Amino acid sequence: MIQNNFTIFDCSIVHFPKIQNRAGNITPIQNNIESPFAIKRVYYLYDVPGGESRGAHAHKELEQLIIAASGSFDVTIDDGKNKKTFSLNRPYFGLHLKPGMWRELSNFSSGSICLVLASQLYNEDDYIRDYDQFLKR
């Protein structure tokens, strides 16, 4: 059972700092400063074949920041009532996902990297992988 009532309107794009210099840029993300939550896990998706989709699940408690560290992709979020698609294509923007959002990642550009900062360690019990079960939660 999900214990919260977040909607897609609680999810937003976070603008991270971009420290520029002639030799390239740096984007720092610190716990509870640039990140709206304390980060316990980092993972990244890469070598995603063109046309492939990922995600198609919700989390009961997990909060995430999803970042196109390289390239671009789309993230469609759904709270059971409302849906919205965000196109991520800059490494200094993150999509802050509150718990309870069904999400699908699609349209990966070739060579793209999806960096995810997460508020909890990996826990399969936190996943809802069945859409009908998600709607009934």
Interacting residue with ligand TYD among 7, 14, 37, 54 (CB under 6 A) = 54
| 122 binds ligand TYD per the rule CB under 6 A | yes
| 60 binds ligand TYD per the rule CB under 6 A | no
* Least Å from the CB of residue 84 to ligand TYD: 18
- Residue pair 74/85 in contact (Cβ under 8 Å)? The answer is yes
15 is catalytic: no
Q: Which residues contact 134 (CB under 8 A, 6 or more apart)?
A: 58, 80, 102, 128
If phi over 0 gives left and psi between -120 and 50 gives alpha, with beta otherwise, what is residue 47? left
Interacting residue with ligand TYD among 10, 12, 34, 57 (CB under 6 A) = 57
Interacting residue with ligand TYD among 36, 55, 71, 80 (CB under 6 A) = 55
End-to-end CA distance of the chain: 6
Residue span 12-51 as binding mask against ligand TYD, x where in contact by CB under 6 A, dash where not: -----------------------------x-x-x------
Q: Smaller CB distance to ligand TYD: residue 54 or 96?
A: 54
- Residue pair 133/77 in contact (Cβ under 8 Å)? The answer is no
Q: How far is CA 114 from the centre of its chain?
A: 8
DSSP secondary structure code for residue 37 in this structure: S
Binding site for ligand TYD (CB under 6 A): 41, 43, 45, 54-55, 57, 122
Q: What residues act catalytically? A: 57
